[in-house]
Amino acid sequence: MHQIIVCTLCRDVPTGVRSGEGLCAELRSRLSAQPDVAHGFTVEGVACMAGCARPLTVAFQAPGKAAYL
C-alpha cells in the first residue's frame, strides 16, 4: 500500500492558514473518485514532519522504498 502523508500543522506564515487537513480531504476525495487508483493508496495526516520552513510538507512512502518529502 502506498501512503501519502500530509503535515496537518504546517501553515503559510503570511496568512497563518493551516492547509494540511484540507489537502488530506481533497486527496481522499479525488482518490475515491478513481477506484482503480484508490485501492493502492492511503492518505494520512500527521501532526508534524519538521518541515516548518515550508507552507506544507508532504511525504510519499511505499513498502520496501525510501520515503520522500
pLDDT at 21: 87
In a domain, 65, yes or no: no
Span 18-61, pLDDT tens digits = 788 889 999 999 999 998 888 889 999 999 888 877 778 999 99
In a domain, 58, yes or no: no
In a domain, 67, yes or no: no
Task: Check whether 16 has a pLDDT greater than 80.
Answer: no
Domain span at 27 = 2-50
Q: Which of 41, 39, 40 is nearest to 24 (CA)?
A: 41
In a domain, 42, yes or no: yes
In a domain, 20, yes or no: yes
Total domains in the chain come to 1
d(CA 37, CA 1): 11
Written in H, E and C, the secondary structure of 8-62 is CCCCCCCCCCCCHHHHHHHHHHHHHCCHHHHCCEEEEEECCCCCCCCCCCEEEEC
Residue count of the chain: 69
